[in-house]
Amino acid sequence: MPHEEPMKALVLDFGGVISKTLFETHSNTERALGLVPGQLTWKGPFAPETDPLWVSMQADEISERDYWLTRSKETGSLVGQDWTKMSDLLIAARGDVPNEVIRPEFLETLARTKDAGCLVAILSNELDLFYGTEFRKKLTFLPQIDVIHDATYTKTLKPVREAYHNLIADFDLRADQCVFVDDQMRNVVGARAVGMATVHFDVLNPQQSYAEAERLLGLHERIEK
């Protein structure tokens, strides 16, 4: 449905939306950790029938943080490490080359969004908690992001309404002027409840998801003008 006025902001989750999931980069992780190719078998949404822990998380029986803490501990044990935080796994797997796991589709949409004069934000439940404080310093695109709300520090996790409201307040915009993109449906529902336009990001088809975000932002119409 067309909007009476153009959208003004794109709000993105980080893990899965901006960065590729760990499921997609098992070969990179195995290489970085010196594991045997194919040793990491959990594949989340790419093969939920082989990942009962992922199914439990999707059913809200455990939290996303609980899921990744378990995977971190399991992977650490494979290399003789006692990993107690998700960041232990992520830093070891991709800390030195974070830009290599950034989705190219994101970078393309980011460029078009900024060219159209829209604001761009990251709304994450665990950016620094999962990736470590040094990770974001190595992300070359980060200067183009207008606002970052990271629950590592705000302590307000999606899908709590305040997480969205606080970000929107930083923009000084209305909720219906923002497009929100997340790969977790519970967070999409939370954004929709406060009045944001939403895209449930499909990690199996990132190009289509970003195309939908651009459509909601009206980027093609703006570029044509």
Whether the CB-CB separation of 126 and 142 falls below 8 Å is answered with no
The per-residue pLDDT for 180 is 98
Phi, psi of 163 (to 5 degrees): -60, -40
Whether the CB-CB separation of 106 and 217 falls below 8 Å is answered with no
Count of helices and strands (H, E) across the chain = 11, 5
66, pLDDT greater than 60: yes
Distances (CA, A) of 110 to 1, 39, 131: 23, 35, 21
69, pLDDT greater than 90: yes
- The number of angstroms, rounded, from the C-alpha of 206 to the middle of its chain's C-alpha atoms is 12
Domains and CATH numbers, the chain: 9-19+102-224 (3.40.50.1000), 22-96 (no CATH)
Comparing 47 with 224, which gets the higher pLDDT? 47
pLDDT band for position 3 (cuts 50, 70, 90): very low
- Average pLDDT of span 17-33: 94
Which are the contacts of 51, defined by CB distance < 8 A and separation ≥ 6? 42, 43, 44
- What percent of the chain stands above pLDDT 90? 81
